[in-house]
Structure 1
Amino acid sequence: MTPDTIPPSQADSLPFEQSQRPRLFRIYNHYRLVISLILAGLLFVDPATLDTKFRLPEFYEICVLSYLGVNLFTGLLLIAGVHTRQRHITLSILIDVIALHGLLMLSVGMTGGLANLIIVSVAAGNILTPSRIGLFYAALAAICSLGVASWSVVTLGASPDEIVRAGSLGVLYFAAAFLLQSVTRRMLRSEELASSRARSLVELEQINKQIIQRMRTGIVVTDRFGQVRLANAAAHELLFGERGRRSEMKTLPPPLQLRLDQWLNHPGTRTEPFQATPVAPMLQANFTRLHQERGDQILIFIEDMSKVTLQAQQMKLASLGRLTAGIAHEIRNPLGAISHAAQLLNESPNCDVGDRKMVDIIQRHSRRVNGIIENVLDLSRRRQADLELVEIGPWLQEFVDDYKQGVRNGEATPDIKLELPPNAPPARFDKSQMAQVMVNLCDNGLRYSEVQTGKPSLRIAVGVTVDSERSYIDIQDQGPGISPEQHEHIFEPFYTTDQSGTGLGLYLARELCEANQAHLSLLDNNEPGCCFRITFAHHRRLM
């Protein structure tokens, strides 16, 4: 790519010598071509009508036509896209100086009007090459002018005024050279400063684009009707679980559009967190207008609540730690005494059938209270997740094998179907904590499947999100399912549909998933039973 074919956006950031000089030389060549055409056209005019007498008319005509041919050839080279170099400019200026002096010598001498064209050539040379070579053009033109004038005086007996005229032109040559070099250098400095600032702005714009595209906060520019103008990759990932498919985002998803309408009606209020899809994490949207006066575009910041959730978990764990220390001392000791007393009462020979039923109720509820305490203690003692990169397929296969061995106590092995795709993306999580989540979900699924069908069965399937960059695990049971009214409560602590349950299992499972940057959700897939999905974060995402 030559400077003549450089796009304007790139040429603006180039130095003056690379961006402007080829254009100026092209303009100067047009000027040369026009002058040579005018001189060639004057050949068809009788010199007598112009009151002019040429010294050597035949040689003058040859020189004019040769000058025209050189300029035409140069113009064709420029049209063909030849890269303009310094030697081309120097050669063109030298040809002009010599050719114009030759025309002066062959026509009327230094008193002719052609002498003024030499000033233009010297000036153009100093603009195109503002250096010492520009002074060389002026010196060469002055020498040639004095030479032509001296030759005319000595050989042709011309008036000595020609030498004075040549000396005056020589002064003009140098004056033009010094003046234009000074002006051109200032222009060069201004052009270089402007080019430097333009490059800085371009680099800053590129850096800003990279920052916006790589930042974890989603950024969306939209109008009040939800028509998306711009969205970065994080916004697509948070809203749709996709990266790199920005062209498909035309309008805001309904939950975000609802928050936008609420903010437009009440600009001073903070909207509630939302989920773009049932399996997406909780998101928080903040709105602001790009133009305060017009207000036609709205900037939306979408933040993943995972970091806030992690901080809240740490605060909850600290509170639970202080609370469970008192629980272990104040409740477990009396509870142990109650349980032991009930066991002794059950062994008494004086205990009749009615009393034994009451003792059984005491022992059963003592075990339940103890289970609640154990779960709370496990939650408060939970260590920070040790995230490592794990291949989902091999890890899940090993887990299922170990789980089957653990639940086999002389009974039939549970029917667990495992579905693994060939190329599931890896994920980062703590193996022990995620195994605890899987044990909890599998225990619940097998128990409810056996209640409903008489056989403990379960289906565990690994899937890949739409963007093909994240994995998820579905745990599908054959149980009675959960009513729609209970969907929004099943992850709340101490909420249970089983009279013998503590209501902390699913709550603890979701807490562990959030600690591992994963999300546990209940799917509505129109299949019998319940389907819980664990959606992992991108394996390159670290918090």
Structure 2
Amino acid sequence: MSTHTPSAQAVKSPFGPIADTQQIRLFRIYNHYRMLISLMLTGLLFIEPFTADTRLRWEEYYQAGVFSYLALNVFTGMLMMAGFKPRERHITLSILVDIAILHFLLLTSSGITNGIANLVIVAVAAGNILNPTRMGTFFAALSAIFSLGISGWAVLAIHETADDIVRAGTLGILYFATAFVLQSISKRMIRSEALARSRAKSIAELEQINRQIIQRMRTGILVLDAGGHVRLANAAAEELLFGAQENAGTTLPHSLVLPPAVKEGLAAWRENPDQRIEPFQATPTSPLLQATFTELDQEQGDQTLVFVEDLSKITQQAQQMKLASLGRLTASIAHEIRNPLGAISHAGQLLDESPNLDQGDRQMLDIIHRHSRRVNGIIENVLDLSRRRAADARRIDIAAWLEEFRAEFRQTDHDGSPVYIELYVKSSLPAARFDKTQIEQVMVNLCDNGLRYSKQQTGENRIQLHAGATADGERAYIDVRDFGPGISPEHHNSVFEPFFTTEKTGNGLGLYLARELCEANQAHLSLVDDDQPGCRFRITFAHPGRMI
């Protein structure tokens, strides 16, 4: 972002959007001055010594001019009080009227030697402050012409002394000097003010950019006061720490309540700043988090800056590196494995056609076929992981998409048995961004597992799909519940690890692949423990407006 000094053209037009307020304020002050002067002139008309000691050429015209000047200034003040905002032409006209009326008073009073001539200097000065352009020089020239004209007329018509012409010339020089000095000062002030405004705008833009960057960072950032209350929290921190709390999503940071794990970590860090707290989960459905504390103000030490990292991202990167190496290894040896595997499978098929096999031999052939398919499935799954494409996330209406998914999933073959899929969708469901193909693959995996375990436990192919929003109302989630035997508590932290399985026929990559696909869409797949029969897997989507 670059800053620049305003050009001369910007200075020549001081009534642009930047200077309007300032010019109106200065004109209001000048109008108060004019009203005060006109009141004083009016008051002097009622003082007897003034009329006795001062020779007025045309007293009636002079009095009319004073009253007219007062009425004009009062009218202008009332317009300003009513909310009228004068433009450049109004201010210019006011200065010209001032110069004309003041010279009319000089003409009808005692001439150029009258003290009213000093008021003309103020009018010229005000004109050059309010309009520091060529018009300001015109004000000075017009005043000098009027002064010389009045003095010349007095010398020729009523035989005044030539000293009036000298005084008028001196006043003319003073008018021009006032104009040049104030124009220079006013232009410099306008340049300085425009530069200050430009820099202030640049700073505000930089601050806004920084705020947006902080809000869109995937790292959670918190600012805590000495009492451990939240002063500031970016979107990632709210999502990671407060997404499932009832008070999440509020616009008042101090109303956010720190999770107990963060409070304990903060207390331990304050006792021993070199200690690093253990990873934790803010809620049962949140990813594994790591908090780091540091003092925000080294001098006062009353504020603490907290960085909250999503360890699942780091774990994901490590797993991706491991799987990338595994994928390259598998790709290099797949041909060598598949050739003997194909030969074994083909030999088993030929042997299966023999009429001289007894029951024991056929059981051995069944073992060969089953494990050949299992080995081939492991190779295919690992290759799929290494070939996974980037997610093409699009904004999706969860309710409509789930209806479409359920209808299509029911059409697939499930051992000929009827399939019962109960769908529950809450109202006012927020949208989500994800790749339909990849999330559909996750849902198929979860639903297939759910139907299989439900069939084992209850004898029915039955699952439930729940769609709702997190407590902050900004992120959507989908739950897949089955009615199977469930997962033992000691295996809750291992179900998403690669190659972990409790079945003899499984390869342990299904749930791991499902979580990987969710992470690729910035969603989170978790196992929810709600003390209900069966398993409940939840896909929590990222905020549709905060995805990076």
Compute the displacement of 1:96 (Å): 2.3
| CA distance in 1: counterparts of 2:476 and 2:15, whole angstroms | 45
What is the letter of the counterpart of residue 45 of structure 2? Answer: L
| CA distance in 2: counterparts of 1:183 and 1:286, whole angstroms | 54
What is the letter of the counterpart of residue 379 of structure 1? Answer: V
Say which of 365, 375, 391 aligns to 1:387.
391
What is the letter of the counterpart of residue 460 of structure 1? Answer: L
What's the counterpart of residue 86 of structure 2?
Answer: 84
RMSD: 4.2
- CA distance 1:515–1:328, change in 2 (3 Å): farther
What's the counterpart of residue 486 of structure 2?
Answer: 481
Compute the displacement of 1:437 (Å): 4.1
Compute the displacement of 1:292 (Å): 2.2
What's the counterpart of residue 314 of structure 1?
Answer: 320
Q: Percent identity?
A: 52
Structure 1 stretch displaced more, 453-462 or 163-172: 453-462
Compute the displacement of 1:271 (Å): 4.6
Say which of 222, 225, 232 aligns to 1:220.
222
Q: Secondary structure at the match of 1:457?
A: strand
Compute the displacement of 1:67 (Å): 1.7
| CA distance in 2: counterparts of 1:221 and 1:35, whole angstroms | 58
What's the counterpart of residue 176 of structure 1?
Answer: 178
The reply on whether 1:118 has 2:120 as its aligned counterpart is yes
What's the counterpart of residue 167 of structure 1?
Answer: 169
- Equivalent pair of 1:368/1:501 in contact (CA under 8 Å): no
Q: Secondary structure at the match of 1:110?
A: coil
What's the counterpart of residue 9 of structure 2?
Answer: none
What's the counterpart of residue 463 of structure 2?
Answer: 458
What is the letter of the counterpart of residue 393 of structure 1? Answer: L
The reply on whether 1:397 has 2:406 as its aligned counterpart is yes
Post-superposition Cα deviations, 1:323-348, rounded to whole Å, max 9, x if no partner, equal 5566996899699989x99x99xx9x
The reply on whether 1:417 has 2:417 as its aligned counterpart is no
Q: Secondary structure at the match of 1:472?
A: strand
Say which of 251, 262, 287 aligns to 1:281.
287
What's the counterpart of residue 303 of structure 2?
Answer: 297
- Equivalent pair of 1:104/1:110 in contact (CA under 8 Å): yes
- CA distance 1:510–1:273, change in 2 (3 Å): same
What's the counterpart of residue 534 of structure 2?
Answer: 529
| CA distance in 1: counterparts of 2:341 and 2:160, whole angstroms | 135
| CA distance in 2: counterparts of 1:181 and 1:471, whole angstroms | 63
| CA distance in 2: counterparts of 1:476 and 1:13, whole angstroms | 68
- CA distance 1:363–1:335, change in 2 (3 Å): farther
Compute the displacement of 1:298 (Å): 2.8
Post-superposition Cα deviations, 1:403-442, rounded to whole Å, max 9, x if no partner, equal 4x2422xxx43544344568864552363x5555445434
- Equivalent pair of 2:35/2:74 in contact (CA under 8 Å): yes
The reply on whether 1:490 has 2:503 as its aligned counterpart is no
| CA distance in 2: counterparts of 1:422 and 1:28, whole angstroms | 62
- Equivalent pair of 2:249/2:473 in contact (CA under 8 Å): no
- CA distance 1:259–1:336, change in 2 (3 Å): farther
Say which of 184, 188, 198 aligns to 1:186.
188
- Equivalent pair of 2:15/2:23 in contact (CA under 8 Å): no
| CA distance in 2: counterparts of 1:366 and 1:266, whole angstroms | 60
Q: Secondary structure at the match of 1:166?
A: helix
What's the counterpart of residue 27 of structure 1?
Answer: 29
Q: Secondary structure at the match of 1:20?
A: helix
Alignment map for 1:43-82 (pairs within 5 Å): 43-47=45-49, 51-82=53-84
The reply on whether 1:519 has 2:524 as its aligned counterpart is yes
What is the letter of the counterpart of residue 486 of structure 1? Answer: H
The reply on whether 1:211 has 2:213 as its aligned counterpart is yes
- Equivalent pair of 1:15/1:191 in contact (CA under 8 Å): no
- CA distance 1:66–1:542, change in 2 (3 Å): closer
The reply on whether 1:252 has 2:258 as its aligned counterpart is yes
- CA distance 1:392–1:245, change in 2 (3 Å): farther
| CA distance in 2: counterparts of 1:510 and 1:204, whole angstroms | 38
Q: Secondary structure at the match of 1:407?
A: coil
| CA distance in 1: counterparts of 2:84 and 2:64, whole angstroms | 28
Compute the displacement of 1:230 (Å): 2.2
The reply on whether 1:156 has 2:161 as its aligned counterpart is no
Q: TM-score normalised to the size of structure 1?
A: 0.80
What's the counterpart of residue 5 of structure 1?
Answer: none
What's the counterpart of residue 435 of structure 2?
Answer: 429
Compute the displacement of 1:384 (Å): 0.8
What's the counterpart of residue 407 of structure 1?
Answer: 415
- Equivalent pair of 1:13/1:198 in contact (CA under 8 Å): no
Q: Secondary structure at the match of 2:151?
A: helix
- Equivalent pair of 1:16/1:191 in contact (CA under 8 Å): no
| CA distance in 2: counterparts of 1:16 and 1:331, whole angstroms | 76
- Equivalent pair of 2:406/2:421 in contact (CA under 8 Å): no
- Equivalent pair of 1:472/1:535 in contact (CA under 8 Å): yes
- Equivalent pair of 1:218/1:233 in contact (CA under 8 Å): yes
Compute the displacement of 1:514 (Å): 3.2
| CA distance in 2: counterparts of 1:27 and 1:414, whole angstroms | 83
Q: TM-score normalised to the size of structure 2?
A: 0.79
What's the counterpart of residue 8 of structure 2?
Answer: none
Post-superposition Cα deviations, 1:134-168, rounded to whole Å, max 9, x if no partner, equal 22222222222223223333343333322222222
| CA distance in 1: counterparts of 2:542 and 2:214, whole angstroms | 20
Post-superposition Cα deviations, 1:419-474, rounded to whole Å, max 9, x if no partner, equal 4568864552363x555544543454344434443444332334444455654332
| CA distance in 2: counterparts of 1:367 and 1:199, whole angstroms | 71
Compute the displacement of 1:225 (Å): 3.6
- Equivalent pair of 1:123/1:176 in contact (CA under 8 Å): yes
Q: Secondary structure at the match of 2:213?
A: helix
Q: Secondary structure at the match of 1:491?
A: coil
- Equivalent pair of 2:242/2:256 in contact (CA under 8 Å): no
